[in-house]
Amino acid sequence: MRKVAVVGAGMTLFRRRLQETGKELSFEATRMALDQAKMEIGDVDAVVHGTAPDAFDGVHMKGEYLLDGSGGTRKPYMRVFTGGGTGVFSAIAGYWHVASGLADVALVVNEEKMSSCQPHPQSVFAHIWDPILDRPLKPNLVWIFAMEMNRYMTVHNIPYEDIARVAVKNKRNAVGHPCAQLADPKITLEDVMNSEIMAWPVRRLDISPPSDGAAAVVLASEEVVKKRKLRDQAAWIKGVGWCIDSTMWTDRDLYFPEYVARAAKMAYRQAKIDRPKQQIDFAEPYDPFDYKELHHLEGLGLADRGKAGLMTREGVTERDGKLPVCPSGGLLGVGNPIAATLGIKIGELYWQLTGQAGKRQIPNEVHTGVCQAWGDLMQYGSVVVMGA
Amino acid sequence: MTFTERTTDARSFRHWPGNVEADYIYTSGIAGERFFRELRDHGRLMGTRCSECGTQWVPPKLFCEECFKEVHDWVELPREGTVGAACIVGVALDGSRLSAPEAWGLVRFAGFRGGFVHRLLVTPDRARAGLRVRAVLKPEGTRTGAITDIRGFSP
Ligand SMILES: [Zn+2]
């Protein structure tokens, strides 16, 4: 396979409701990414679009609907969808377009407009449940997360405070992010702990709420990087992995994300990483809930099982710690327009590795980063390792 | 008796009823906002023009699908458009027979990419490609800033 680099990235504001249409948001992010890559749409060989359920935007077949704003017209174009996992998976799909040699430059565009869905995207999310076994009981999606969080806390005897600290860290990290919806420089542990209980043990501030936004990245082959003299602004994709576990969340032991561990194993093998704790300098795991950052750090092999909370308490995962985690501010701090989190996962790895992260730049030098997204029916992981 | 005839009444079998309840509020976007304001307040149909490649878009776009540059310039459409294609609808969305057939057309404007799919305010026998038409708007004061502010297109 050929070497593939990210050479440009862009993202819109993440907000609870934006006036722009999904097409306009897609355009804004894509134009930024192309400008950063010093390219025009004619330089792009193929376009991959990533966006979560049609039911959020309220436009059926929205990958096709968003095509014109995503620069895909009259090009090889596809939409990929792995639920929340799309935030990283679409870049993997873009990667294989270039790595295979089918394209020299691929554009990856992700969009979500969750504000269309009323009264709350939760109302359509309810329909991922089994229509006969579960739905007559009117379950809420947060129930799954509450039970998973509770199982994780129970198995490892983790205090709630160690989980809530993740929300505090990420909302503070997001203060330097120009797109952030949920940044809060003054937030305290007590604020999170005392916020409204949604479904015990999950509090309101443990969750990243719905959002509108878009993000895009430009991927290029090594030859393109050389020819266009983009080496100084290139971050290389070293390994990709993805994995899905059983459909039934009731079939899994919820305390450990096996799907992330397997996806990470696949990505690490390709990236020649056998000691992730020593070889990875920073991470952007998927953090729509604070406990998920910890869960995913353990799945990624960056923390021992049950110990990610302790690492957080000891400051290891702070931006200036030994292993900065979610230096972007993550979904908890920047926002959670599902697929558009591409901009705070792949995008943040790109900006950090090329020294373009501005106020968010990790003070220690970083050479290798890993990002991960989580989705489908809560049993899917996508992982990308990148290096400068 | 055909297979489809045997299974048309699926509700006669054992089943669980369900309903995917979903309501939406959409935004018309930055370009759409201006388009609908012009239509409601001034009775004008507007498009956008790409200053990079000159392509003119209707309905207006904030970006050019051709050269992928941001589009800033607004231009008014010519008064008359041309029916590019027509269809005569006899059956409603729910499969019921319409009391009278309806004429619908794809209306294009010289110099513009795109156009409107809208009602043709003519008898079905006159709804043909090539017909020159103008937009018929609801009276000022009753328009809300919606595509239905255009009643249809007529010669
Ligand atoms: Zn143009």
Residue A255 belongs to a domain with what CATH number? 3.40.47.10
In a domain, A180, yes or no: no
> What is residue B17's predicted lDDT score, i.e. its pLDDT?
86
In a domain, A64, yes or no: yes
Size (chain B), residues:
155
Tokens of A251: 């079939």
The rounded distance, in Å, linking the Cα atoms of A211 and A121 is 10
How many Cβ atoms from other residues are within 10 Å of residue B123's Cβ? 11
Residues forming a β-bridge with A207:
A289
Per the structure, how many domains does chain A have? 1
Pairing of strands B97-108, B116-119: antiparallel
Q: Which pLDDT band holds residue B6 (cuts at 50, 70, 90)?
A: low
Domains of chain B, each with CATH number or no CATH:
27-154 (2.40.50.140)
Helices A290-299 and A258-271 cross at an angle (nearest 10°) of 50
Burial of B22 (0-12, 13-18, 19+ CB in 10 A): middle
> What is residue B3's predicted lDDT score, i.e. its pLDDT?
56
In a domain, A39, yes or no: yes
| Residue of higher predicted confidence among B110 and B5 | B110
Sheet architecture: strand order including A105-113: A77-80, A46-50, A105-113, A212-221, A4-11, A235-244, A380-387, A368-375, A282-284
Amino acid making up residue A377: L
In a domain, A191, yes or no: no
Please judge whether B62 and A131 are an interchain contact, meaning their C-beta atoms are less than 8 angstroms apart: no
Per-residue CA distances from A365 to A11, A325, A348 (Å) = 24, 14, 15
Residue pLDDT, tens place only, B85-132: 999 999 998 888 999 999 999 999 999 999 999 999 999 999 999 999
What torsion do the CA atoms of B69, B71, B73, B75 make, to the nearest 10 degrees? 110
N- to C-terminal Cα separation, chain A:
19
Which chain B residue has the Cα nearest residue A113? B26
Tokens of A261: 């561990």
Distance from CA of B35 to the nearest CA of A (A): 14
Distance from CA of B14 to the nearest CA of A (A): 12
Which chain A residue has the Cα nearest residue B68? A41
> What is residue A146's predicted lDDT score, i.e. its pLDDT?
96
| Residue of higher predicted confidence among B113 and B7 | B113
In a domain, A340, yes or no: yes
How many Cβ atoms from other residues are within 10 Å of residue A141's Cβ? 16
> What is residue B134's predicted lDDT score, i.e. its pLDDT?
98
> What is residue B21's predicted lDDT score, i.e. its pLDDT?
82
Backbone angles phi, psi at A5, to 5 degrees: -120, 150
Look at residues A283, A307, A298 and name the one whose alpha carbon lies nearest to residue A362.
A283
Please give the residue range of the domain that contains residue A221.
Answer: 4-118+209-387
In a domain, A258, yes or no: yes
Distance from CA of A6 to the nearest CA of B (A): 20
Q: Tokens 């992981």 appear where?
A: A381
Alpha-carbon Rg for chain A in angstroms: 19
Q: Are A202 and A18 in contact (CB under 8 A)?
A: no
In a domain, A224, yes or no: yes
Chain A residues bordering chain B (beta-carbon distance below 8 Å): 17-21, 23-24, 27, 30-31, 34, 40-41, 55, 58, 68-69, 71, 73, 115-119, 123-124, 127, 131-132, 135-136
- The mean pLDDT value of chain B amounts to 93
How would DSSP label each residue in A56-83? HHT-TTHHHHTTGGGT-TTS-EEEE-BT
The rounded distance, in Å, linking the Cα atoms of B66 and A155 is 56
> What is residue A228's predicted lDDT score, i.e. its pLDDT?
98
Amino acid making up residue A325: V
pTM of the prediction? 0.95
Among A19, A39, A57, A137, which would you mutate to test the B interface (most chain B Cβ atoms within 10 Å of its Cβ)? A19
Please judge whether A68 and B61 are an interchain contact, meaning their C-beta atoms are less than 8 angstroms apart: yes
- Residues in chain A predicted with pLDDT less than 70, given as ranges, are none
CB-based burial, A339-369: b 16+ in 10 Å, e otherwise: bbbbbbbbbbbbbbbbeebeebebeeebebb
In a domain, A12, yes or no: yes
> What is residue A126's predicted lDDT score, i.e. its pLDDT?
84
How would DSSP label each residue in B82-150? EEEEEEEEEE-TTSPEEEEEEEEEEEE-TT-EE-EEEEB-S-GGG--TT-EEEEEEPPTTT--SSGGGE
Continuous segment of H or E residues that includes residue A301: none
ipTM surpassing 0.85, yes or no?
yes
Residue pLDDT, tens place only, A265-302: 999 999 999 999 999 999 999 999 999 999 999 999 99
Look at residues A267, A313, A308, A264 and name the one whose alpha carbon lies nearest to residue A287.
A308
Q: Number of CB pairs < 8 Å for A and B?
A: 72
Q: Are A381 and A85 in contact (CB under 8 A)?
A: yes
Contacts of A116 in chain B (CB under 8 A): 24-27
